Chain A
Amino acid sequence: MPPKISIQNVSFTYADGTQALKNLSLDIAGNEIFVLFGPARSGKTTLLRLLNRLSDLFENARYQGKILFNEQDIFEHGTDVAALRRRIGMVFAIPTPLPGSIRDNLTYGLKVAGIHNPAIHEERIERSLKQAALWEEVKDRLDSSAFALSGGQQQRLCIARSLVLEPEVLLLDNPTSGLDPLSTGIVEDSLQELKQRYTIIMVPHSVQQAARVADRAGFMLDGELIEVDQASVMFTTPQDKRTEDYVTGRFG
C-alpha cells in the first residue's frame, strides 16, 4: 500500500538564510500515529507547516524536494491549497478558539467551504465532538462562548474543529503543551480512537509523551532526520547515538 504522505529529499531555507530542513525523506503510512520528536529548533514545526502548506506564508523562503499526499505532489502548480488544508488538518500548540460560540467554531470550516446545510452541520458537529471526547461536556451549550471553556476543553474543541471537515490526516503541533495532566491524558487517550479513522502526525510535548503515544517515531536534530523506527525500538534501543542521548535525557 502506498504511503499516505511521502516526503522526498525536502530542504527548506528561510528568507534570512537559516536552513530549517536538510534533505529530509520520510514516509508516513495511513492510520498510524507518527511522532516527530527532537530538541527545540530542529525543524519539526517547519516540517508540519510544509505538510499543509502554511509555509506559503513565509516570504522569500526556498524549498526543494517533493511532498506527495496520496501520491500527488502538494506543491504542484495549480493545487487547490484550501482543499488540501481541509484534508490535512492542523491543531496548534496554543488552544485558539475563534471568536464566537462553540457551534460557530465548529461550523467555520464548513461555511468557508460553502456548506451551509444545517442538517449536515449538526451531524458533523456531533460526530466530531464525540471523536474529540468533548461531546458530553458541551452538548447542551453549543451556543455559548467558546472562550468560556477550560484550556483542555478549548484544545479538544480545536481538534473537533479540524475533524468536522473530515480530513484524512491530522497534524498536531504540541497540542498538550499548555494543558494540565488530566486534560493531557484525555487528549492522548482520544488519539487511539482517532487513528482508526485518520492518519496522525504529532510533535510531542516530551519524550515521555512520544513514547506513550507513538506507533512509529522520527527523531529530528538540526533539520535532519536522524532515525525513524517503531516506537517499541526507538525509545528503548535506538540505533543512533544522538537519538539515544536525547531519549535518555543527556541533552535536550
Chain B
Amino acid sequence: MATHADTRAHTDTKPHKGAAEQTPPAGRPFWAKWFEFLIERLIGAAGVSAILFVALIFFFLLREGIPTFLQVPLPQLFGSRWYPIEGMFGLWPLIVGSILVTAGAVIMAVPLGLITAIYLGEIAPQWQREILKPLIEVLAGIPSIVLGFLGWVALAPLVQRLGAPTGLTAFTGSLILAYMSLPTIISISEDALYAVPKEYRDGALAIGATQWQTIWRVVLPAARSGLVIAVMLGIGRAVGETMAVMMVTGNAANVPAFGLGMFFEPVRTMTATIAAEMGEVARGSLHYNVLFAIGIVLFIITFAINSLAGRLVGGQASRRKRGQL
C-alpha cells in the first residue's frame, strides 16, 4: 500500500506506472456493500408495495363484505327498497342516487372544466394564467367537508327558494360535486391540450383559420383521448365523494320518479350510506356486511374507471428512458 512518503515522491515529472490495481489508502467500510444491497432491496419492496396495498384493500373489503352475498339473494340485493331496520337491503336506490348526483355533476363540470382548460391553454394571457391557476389549486385544496358545510348552510336554502321543499336534493349535491371535480378535469384537460403539437395550430392558422376554428377543428379533436381521460377521472372523483354529498343530498333512500324533476328530489348515494350508517351498526351484523358490500361495489367501479384511464394514458406517458446518455 502506498504510504504518504510514496505519494509525495510522485512529482510532476515522473511517468506514472499503474499496471497493478491502485488501492487508495483506506477504502469504504467492509459493510458498505451489504448495506447498499439491503437498501436496494428495501427500495424494491417499497416499489411493489403499491400493488400489495391495492390487493389488501380489496381483500379486507371482501373479508367483511362477502357474507352479504351468502345471506342476501342477489335479486333482493338489487331491489329497490333500502330499509335496513326491516332487513331490506335493496341497493338500487343508492346506486340511482350515486348515478343521479354524479351525472348531474359531470354534466355541469365537463363543459365548464373543458372551457376553462381551453381558456387557460389557448386564450388567456400569461398574467391571467398566473391568477387563475393558483385559484384553481386553492379550490382543489378546500376540504370536502368545508364545501359540504357551506352547501348545507348556504346553498341548500338557496335551492329551497327555487322550489325544492328542503333544498337538500341531488341537484344541490351535483352542484357542489361539480365544483370539486373541476380542478381534476381542468388540469388533465390542460395537459391533453398542451400535448397537441404546436405545429398543428401553426398549420391551421397559416391557412387562414381563426383561433376559434383552430381550437374547434384541430386542437380539440387531436386532444380527444386525453380529454376522455379527463372526463373519466372526473367521474371517478365524483362517484367517490362522501362528506359533501352526504350533507346536502337529503339522505332519502328512495328512487325518484323518472323525469327532469328527479334531480330535485332528495337522494342517498352509496358513499353517504356507508358513512352515515356504519356508526350505528353492530359489528358482524348483516347490515355491517352489506355496508362493506357497498364498499366492494364502489371499489370495483373506481377500479374499472381508473384501470381503463390508466391504460389509455400508458400510450401517452412520457417517461424518460434510462440510458439516454
Contact = CB atoms under 8 A, between A and B. Distances in A.
* Direct A–B contact present (CB less than 8 angstroms): yes
Interface of A: 15, 31, 45, 49, 54, 57-59, 61, 70, 83, 86-87, 110, 112-117, 119-120, 123, 127, 130-131, 165-168, 196-198
Contacts of B199: none
A168 B18 contact: yes
A59 B319 CA distance: 14
A76 B263 CA distance: 72
B2 to A, nearest CB: 9
A127 B12 CA distance: 8
Contacts of B19: 70
Contacts of B161: none
Contacts of A61: 323
- Determine the main DSSP class of B at the interface with A: loop
A49 B325 contact: yes
B24 A113 contact: yes
A120 B29 CA distance: 18
B28 A113 contact: yes
B12 A110 contact: no
B325 to A, nearest CB: 6
Interface string B11-38: 0110110110110111111001000000
Contacts of A57: 322-323, 325
A110 B24 contact: yes
Among B13, B21, B22, B325, the one with the most A-chain Cβ atoms within 10 Å of its Cβ is B325
B15 A115 contact: no
A58 B15 contact: no
B28 A197 contact: no
A196 B18 CA distance: 12
Interface of B: 4, 7-8, 12-13, 15-16, 18-19, 21-22, 24-29, 32, 321-323, 325
B16 A59 contact: no
Nearest to B23: A83
B40 to A, nearest CB: 14
Contacts of B24: 86, 110, 113-115, 165-166
A119 B22 CA distance: 18
Contact of A113 (B7, B15, B27, B321): B27
A66 B25 CA distance: 31
A117 B7 contact: no
Given A31-B15, A127-B12, A198-B16, A120 B27 contact: no
A115 B22 contact: no
Contacts of B4: 119-120
B18 A130 contact: no
Contacts of B21: 83, 87
Contacts of A15: 323
B323 A123 contact: no
Contact of B323 (A58, A83, A112, A196): A58
Contacts of A119: 4
B32 A45 contact: no
Contacts of A59: 321-323
17 contacts: A31-B15, A58-B323, A58-B325, A61-B323, A86-B24, A87-B18, A87-B22, A113-B24, A113-B28, A114-B24, A114-B29, A120-B4, A123-B7, A166-B16, A166-B18, A168-B16, A198-B16
A196 B22 contact: no
A167 B22 CA distance: 8
Contacts of B323: 15, 57-59, 61
B251 to A, nearest CB: 54
A196 B19 CA distance: 15
Contacts of A127: 12
A114 B28 CA distance: 4
Contact of B27 (A115, A165, A196): A115
Nearest to B29: A114
A112 B323 CA distance: 22
